[in-house]
C-alpha cells in the first residue's frame, strides 16, 4: 500500500532538522500576520466589564466570531463559533467555565441548541483549578442546579463510564417555557494538560463515540468543545475530526493538515498550542486513514503513542513507556452508520462494566497484523514545547500564576501513569506468544524500568533543588527582620547611652 499525502507530509517534516518546531512556528506566524491584515479585533473581551469573565488574560475570543448571549446580565462569553464549511462542521470552542460564568455557559448551550458538550480536561490539574464543576454532584431532581439569573435548571440523569472517558446525560430545562432537552457530556479524563492522549487509537475511539450520538451532524446546533483555555486540546480535537471528514469526502491527497488548521484559526486564536499536539494530530489522522483503507478492523493492533527520547542534559517532561504489545481488538458488530475512519464498536471504548472482550475492552484472539506501521516519531530534540506562554498549561489562572514548582508537581501524575501502563503490559501478554517474544517483552520492561528510575532520579533531583531554593528563601526572609530588629536595638541602646553620658557630663561638670 502506498503512502498517503499526509504521511508524505509528515515524513518530510520529520526529516528536516527542527522540522516540527519550524512547522509549528510557521503556522503561528501565518495566523498572526493574517489576523493583523484582516484586523481581527478582541475589543469585547478586553472591555473592563468583561475581563472578569476570562479565565486567562492571553486567550480571548475574536469579535467577528464570538458567541453572543441574548438574556441575562451580559451578552459576553469567552467562546467562538468555529466553522469548516467544506466538512459541514461547526463547533463552539470555549474556556472551562469559571464559577461566575457557569450560568452563561448553560445559557449558551440552550440558545445555540447544542446536543453535546465535549470536556477534554479534568477539573483540577497539577494542583490548580482548570474548570469549575458546572453540573450537579449527584443524580436526581433533588440535586439539580438552579441558574435563576438565566432562568435555567440542570439535572444529572445518568453516567456511563469508559476506559478513557465518561458520558453523562444531563437535562437542561427552561424555567419560563418549561421546555427541556437532554444534553450529553463526553468527558475525556486521561488527556493531560499541555499534553496528548495515550495513543491515537484511544483518541479515535472517543471521537467515534461522539460521532455516533449525532452531535456533530449539520442538522443540530454546534457541539460545545472545551478544555481549560479552549484552544489546545480543543483545537486538536477539531483539527483531527475535520481532516478525517475531508479525507472521506475529497480523498487523501487533497487535504492539507496545515491548511485546515489555518482555516480553523481564523475563528479562534491559538488552536493547537504545542508541537506535541501538532504531531499527535498527524498521528491520529494517519491512523484514521489506515482504518479507512482497511475494512478488516479486528485484525488491527493498537499502536501506542511514542514520544521523542529525552535529552539527558535538558529537563523535559518524561516520555511514556515503550508501546506494549497487546492483543488484537475484538470486533463485535457493524455500526448503524458506517464511520470507516473510526474504530469499531468493541475496540477499547468499552464500558468498564461491559462484557465485550478482555480487560479494558481488549480481545482474546491473539496479536493482530497491520498493513503498515505508523511513521516513526522524531528522535531529535526539535519537539520541545513551543510558545508555552500561550498554552493551556502556562496561561495565567484566575487565582494565581503557575510557577516553576508546578513542574515538580507532575511527579505524582507521572508515577500513576507509569503504574497503569506497567499493569497494561503485564496484563495483556499473550500466552500464545513465542519464547523469543516473551524475552523481547521482558527486555522492554527492564529498559522501561531503567528509564523510569532515571526519570525519577532527575525528578527527585529537581524537586530537591526546588526545596533547597524554597528553604534558602524562607531562611532569608526570616533572618532579615531579625537583623533589622537587632540593628534597631543596637542603635537605640547607643543613643540611650549617649544621652546618659551627655546628661552626666552636663550635670557634674
Grid cell in block for residue 96:
472551562
Q: How confident is the model at residue 482 (pLDDT cuts 50, 70, 90)?
A: low
Residue 391 pLDDT > 70 = no
Active-site residue, from 31, 227, 238, 243? 227
227 assigned to active site: yes
pLDDT of residue 3: 60
Residue with cell 498572526: 32
**What are the tens digits of pLDDT across the range 102-128?**
999 999 999 999 999 999 999 998 889
Residue 305 pLDDT > 70 = no
pLDDT of residue 362: 34
Grid cell in block for residue 40:
481581527
DSSP H/E element including 60:
none
In angstroms, the first-to-last Cα distance of the chain is: 114
Instruction: Kindly state the average pLDDT of the residues 170-193.
Output: 93
Mean pLDDT, the chain, integer: 76
Instruction: Kindly state the average pLDDT of the residues 230-254.
Output: 94
CA distance 295 to 356: 20
pLDDT of residue 355: 36
Instruction: Kindly state the average pLDDT of the residues 27-50.
Output: 95
Grid cell in block for residue 115:
446536543
Output the DSSP codes for 234-281.
HHHHHHHHHHHHHHHHH-GGG--HHHHHHHHTTTSTT-S-SHHHHHHH
* Angle formed by the axes of helices 19-37 and 5-15, nearest 10°: 110
The strand pair at 128-129 and 124-125 is best described as antiparallel
Instruction: Kindly state the average pLDDT of the residues 230-244.
Output: 96
Cα 198 to Cα 204, 378, 443: the distances in Å are 11, 17, 22
Q: How confident is the model at residue 246 (pLDDT cuts 50, 70, 90)?
A: very high
Adjacent-strand bridge partners of 80 = 66, 93
Q: Are 335 and 345 in contact (CB under 8 A)?
A: yes
Instruction: Kindly state the average pLDDT of the residues 313-324.
Output: 41
Percent of the chain with pLDDT over 90: 49
Grid cell in block for residue 461:
533531583
CA distance 319 to 366: 28
- What does the angle CA 164 – CA 339 – CA 196 come to, to the nearest 5 degrees? 35
Residue with cell 440552550: 110
pLDDT of residue 333: 39
Residue with cell 458488530: 333
Cα 405 to Cα 111, 273, 387, 459: the distances in Å are 42, 22, 19, 11
Residue 375 pLDDT > 70 = no
Grid cell in block for residue 290:
489506515
Q: How confident is the model at residue 194 (pLDDT cuts 50, 70, 90)?
A: low
CA distance 355 to 345: 12
Residue 433 pLDDT > 50 = no
CA 385 to chain centre: 14
Instruction: Kindly state the average pLDDT of the residues 275-298.
Output: 82
The strand pair at 76-84 and 89-94 is best described as antiparallel
Rounded to the nearest 10°, the torsion over CA 31, 33, 36, 37 is -110
Lowest average pLDDT, out of 239-243, 271-275, 387-391, 498-502, goes to 387-391
Instruction: Kindly state the average pLDDT of the residues 341-358.
Output: 40
Select, from the ranges 55-69, 384-398, 479-493, the one with the highest average predicted confidence (pLDDT).
55-69
Adjacent-strand bridge partners of 338 = none
Grid cell in block for residue 69:
448571549
CA dihedral sign of residues 182, 188, 194, 195: negative
Q: What 8-state DSSP symbol labels residue 140?
A: S
Instruction: Kindly state the average pLDDT of the residues 329-350.
Output: 39
Amino acid at each position: 500500500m502506498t503512502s498517503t499525502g499526509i504521511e508524505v507530509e509528515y515524513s518530510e517534516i520529520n526529516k528536516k532538522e527542527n522540522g516540527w518546531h519550524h512547522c509549528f512556528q510557521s503556522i503561528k506566524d501565518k495566523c498572526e500576520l493574517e489576523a493583523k491584515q484582516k484586523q481581527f479585533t478582541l475589543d469585547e473581551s478586553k472591555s473592563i466589564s468583561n475581563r472578569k469573565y476570562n479565565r486567562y488574560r492571553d486567550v480571548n475570543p475574536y469579535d467577528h466570531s464570538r458567541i453572543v448571549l441574548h438574556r441575562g446580565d451580559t451578552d459576553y462569553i469567552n467562546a467562538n463559533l468555529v466553522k469548516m464549511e467544506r466538512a459541514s462542521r461547526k463547533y463552539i470552542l470555549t474556556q472551562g467555565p469559571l464559577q461566575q460564568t457557569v450560568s452563561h455557559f448553560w445559557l449558551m448551550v440552550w440558545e445555540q441548541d447544542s446536543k453535546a458538550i465535549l470536556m477534554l480536561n479534568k477539573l483540577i490539574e497539577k494542583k490548580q483549578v482548570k474548570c469549575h464543576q458546572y453540573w450537579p454532584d449527584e443524580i436526581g431532581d433533588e440535586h439539580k442546579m438552579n441558574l435563576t439569573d438565566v432562568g435555567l435548571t440542570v439535572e444529572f440523569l445518568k453516567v456511563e463510564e469508559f476506559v478513557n472517558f465518561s458520558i453523562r446525560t444531563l437535562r437542561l430545562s427552561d424555567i419560563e417555557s418549561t421546555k427541556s432537552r437532554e444534553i450529553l457530556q463526553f468527558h475525556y479524563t486521561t488527556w493531560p494538560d499541555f499534553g496528548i492522549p495515550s495513543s491515537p487509537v484511544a483518541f479515535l475511539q472517543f471521537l467515534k463515540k461522539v460521532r455516533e450520538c449525532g452531535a456533530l451532524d449539520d442538522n443540530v446546533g454546534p457541539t460545545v468543545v472545551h478544555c481549560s483555555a479552549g484552544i489546545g486540546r480543543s483545537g486538536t480535537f477539531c483539527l483531527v475530526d475535520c481532516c478525517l471528514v475531508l479525507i472521506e469526502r475529497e480523498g487523501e491527497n487533497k487535504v492539507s493538515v496545515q491548511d485546515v488548521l489555518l482555516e480553523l484559526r481564523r475563528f479562534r486564536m491559538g488552536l493547537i498550542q504545542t508541537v506535541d499536539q501538532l504531531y499527535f494530530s498527524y498521528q491520529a489522522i494517519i491512523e484514521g486513514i489506515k482504518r479507512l483503507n482497511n475494512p478488516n478492523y479486528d485484525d488491527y493492533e493498537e499502536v501506542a503513542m511514542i514520544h521523542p527520547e529525552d535529552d539527558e542534559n535538558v529537563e523535559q517532561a518524561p516520555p511514556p513507556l515503550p508501546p506494549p504489545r497487546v492483543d488484537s481488538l475484538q470486533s463485535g458488530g457493524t455500526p448503524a452508520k458506517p464511520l470507516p475512519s473510526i474504530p469499531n464498536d468493541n475496540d477499547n471504548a468499552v464500558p468498564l462494566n461491559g462484557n465485550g472482550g478482555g480487560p479494558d475492552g481488549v480481545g482474546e484472539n491473539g496479536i493482530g497484523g497491520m498493513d503498515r506501521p505508523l511513521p516513526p516519531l522524531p528522535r531529535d530534540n526539535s519537539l520541545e514545547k513551543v510558545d508555552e506562554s500561550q498554552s493551556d498549561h502556562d496561561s495565567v489562572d484566575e487565582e494565581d500564576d503557575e510557577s516553576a514548582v508546578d513542574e515538580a508537581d507532575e511527579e505524582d501524575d507521572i508515577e500513576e501513569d507509569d503504574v497503569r501502563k506497567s499493569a497494561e503490559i503485564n496484563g495483556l501478554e499473550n500466552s500464545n506468544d513465542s519464547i523469543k517474544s516473551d524475552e523481547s517483552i521482558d527486555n522492554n520492561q527492564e529498559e522501561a524500568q531503567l528509564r523510569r528510575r532515571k526519570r525519577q532520579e532527575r525528578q527527585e533531583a529537581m524537586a530537591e533543588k526546588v526545596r533547597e531554593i524554597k528553604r534558602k528563601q524562607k531562611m532569608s526572609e526570616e533572618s532579615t527582620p531579625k537583623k533589622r530588629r537587632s540593628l534597631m536595638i543596637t542603635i537605640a541602646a547607643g543613643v540611650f547611652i549617649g544621652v546618659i553620658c551627655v546628661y552626666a557630663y552636663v550635670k557634674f561638670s
